[in-house]
Amino acid sequence: MSVDFEKEGRLATITMNRPEKLNAINAEQSRAMSEALVRFRDDPELWVAIITGAGDRAFSAGANITGFLDRRPGERDDRAERVRGDNIWKPLIAAIHGYCLGGGLELALTCDIRIAADNSRLGLPEIKVGVIAGGGGVSRLPRFIPRAIASEMILTGKHIDAQEAYRIGLVNEVVPRDQLMPTAKKWAETICEAGPLQVRAAKEGLIRGYNLTLAESDQLVRDLAASLRGTEDAKEGARAFVEKRKPNWKGK
């Protein structure tokens, strides 16, 4: 399988598994990733997922460049139409190591939390091979980091290391390589301490509200908050607070 799916309690781990190709994303792997995300989205027992790459050299080095040779003029890249992390309301964590380039970085940008190993190299080098980052890189990167730095990376294909990615706010934490998955799992555990319905509503408000006016975003969040009232988890959260204990979330 080009993408592995592991279920552990409330956590799914989705692993791109083509280490001999630096987990480069071909058509098969793109479809397999979309299917894995649907599986995660539709499983009520799963609350958080970690996306990572097999091997020691790369999270993903990006698209399979040889596939570009068969493209016809005007042919669209259908990756943008597939299921992505930013159209699933359950939270996703990218556990990045080694090369995280092109389509690999575009995938990481659709995640909510990005943890980088200290050997990571991130960039959008498509411009150097005759294409642009059309799978979301050009549109998303300026939303996460200062526009001037995004322009530099997009227009020159420049790579940055993990510490620079942390400095500009592209990743949430940098850790030694051997601590990458344990750290990502700790983040997942922390997220799971909150009510899953509430986490999903908050993510939906963050993403959908980004392109709205402040007033429209406020209304969206009020509607999302209202939809949670009366749920079992809302009542459990209040009871647990009064009783000074940890809540027992049900996702209902």
Give the torsion sign (CA, 140, 141, 145, 151). Answer: negative
Helix (H, G, I), strand (E, B) or coil at 13: strand
Q: How far is CA 210 from CA 121, 204, 216, in A?
A: 28, 10, 10
Give catalytic status of residue 126 as yes or no. yes
Angle at 184 between CA 16 and CA 217, to 5 degrees: 95
Measured distance CA(190)–CA(198) in Å, rounded: 14
CA–CA gap between residue 119 and residue 96 (Å, rounded): 9
> What would you report as the CA-atom Rg of the chain, rounded to the nearest whole angstrom?
19
Q: Point out the catalytic residue in the list 20, 75, 81, 106.
A: 106
Residue 173 is a catalytic residue = no
Of the residues 28, 35, 126, 189, only one is catalytic, namely 126
| Residue corresponding to tokens 């575009």 | 106
Would you please indicate which residues are annotated as catalytic (active-site) residues?
106, 126
